[in-house]
Amino acid sequence: MMSTRSPLLALVLALVGMPAAVSGGVHDDEATLGRMHDDFVRAFVDSQGFGKTRVTPMMVRMRHYQFEGFGDDGRCVRDVELVGIARHYPPVVYPANFMGFQHHDGDAALRLPAMPARTLQAWERDAVAMLKAGRPIVLHTTPGGERAMGAIRARRDCLSCHADHREGDVLGALSYGLGRVTVSAEVPGARSCVP
159: three-class secondary structure by DSSP: helix
Tell me, yes or no, whether 181 lies in a domain: yes
Tell me, yes or no, whether 166 lies in a domain: yes
* Most confident stretch, 21-35, 47-61, 66-80, 122-136: 122-136
Using pLDDT thresholds of 50, 70 and 90, give the confidence band for residue 51.
very low
Q: What is the model's pTM?
A: 0.74
As a whole number of Å, the end-to-end CA separation of the chain is: 50
Tell me, yes or no, whether 21 lies in a domain: no
Quote the percentage of the chain above a pLDDT of 70: 71
Q: Within 10 Å of residue 82's Cβ, how many Cβ atoms?
A: 21
Q: What is the reported pLDDT for 58?
A: 77
Using pLDDT thresholds of 50, 70 and 90, give the confidence band for residue 176.
very high
182-193 pLDDT, tens per residue?
988 888 878 888
* Most confident stretch, 34-38, 42-46, 65-69, 186-190: 34-38
3-state secondary structure 134-147: CCCEEEEEECCEEE
Tell me, yes or no, whether 13 lies in a domain: no
Domain that holds residue 159: 26-194
Of the candidates 96, 103, 86, the residue with the CA atom closest to the CA atom of residue 61: 96
Q: What is the reported pLDDT for 61?
A: 85
What is the distance between the alpha carbons of residues 63 and 73, in angstroms, rounded to a whole number?
A: 18
Tell me, yes or no, whether 16 lies in a domain: no
Tell me, yes or no, whether 2 lies in a domain: no
Using pLDDT thresholds of 50, 70 and 90, give the confidence band for residue 25.
very low
Tell me, yes or no, whether 112 lies in a domain: yes
Domain count, the chain: 1
pLDDT, averaged across the chain: 76
Tell me, yes or no, whether 17 lies in a domain: no
Calculate ∠ Cα 138-139-140, nearest 5°.
120
> 155, 137 in Cβ contact below 8 A?
no
63-102 pLDDT, tens per residue?
888 888 888 888 999 988 889 898 888 999 987 654 445 4
151: three-class secondary structure by DSSP: strand
